[in-house]
Amino acid sequence: MDVRGIFRAVTFCGIVCASMAASASNFMDFQVIHPSFVGFSKTPAYFAIRSRDELETWAKQPLNDDVSQMPRGAPRLPLPHIDFDHFTLLIANAGTKGSSGFSVAFTSVFSLPSAIYANVVEIAPTGTTCAIMSIETHPVALVLIPKTDQPIQFNVSTARTDCAEDRIIKV
């Protein structure tokens, strides 16, 4: 097993152990927000947004300002109205991908005394049977969780879709 394989195994064990440590009462409900307002990010990035000011500041960051990909004069979509008195917004941005077929999703969110843990999976196509387009994509997922001031820890795992067998393979 090479160093990357050992790192993946240790990371996966850490995620599994953290997940097992959370009892059913620690799991938090979350609400998916459809990301019509999110800009582009070339590298993966994960955020917890706790106020309207933070959301507006985040939306103006260079990470979301790759205007070379936007048509000239394209209108910016308005930011969603979020009740930050009751919710915290979590953003998982998988970065720029070279083709279609990639996605990112929150699988669970749970609370332990030390932090809130958000489990995220990034899914990529594999093999030659996946029908993909040669176009840059920017997979992103957004969820709302109950308002919290606790630190947020994002546990990110990757999986690959095997289109020939219509299944997901954890990496």
The share of the chain scoring above pLDDT 90, in percent, equals: 27
Cross-strand pairs, 170: 159
Answer whether residue 74 shows pLDDT above 50.
no
Answer whether residue 94 shows pLDDT above 70.
yes
Q: How many CB atoms sit inside 10 A of residue 106's CB?
A: 18
Say what the pLDDT of residue 80 is.
77
Question: pLDDT per residue over 27-40, tens digit each?
Answer: 888 888 876 655 55
Tell me the CA end-to-end span of the chain in Å, nearest whole number. 14
Answer whether residue 99 shows pLDDT above 80.
no
Domain span including residue 117: 3-170
In this prediction, residues 51-73 reach a mean pLDDT of 64
Environment class of 11 (CB within 10 Å of its CB; exposed 0-12, middle 13-18, buried 19+):
middle
Contacts of 49 (CB under 8 A, 6+ apart): 55, 58, 84, 88, 89, 90, 91
Model confidence, pTM: 0.72
| Half-sphere exposure in the Cβ direction for 133 (13 Å, CA) | 4
How does DSSP classify residue 37?
A: T
How does DSSP classify residue 23?
A: -
Q: How many domains does the chain divide into?
A: 1
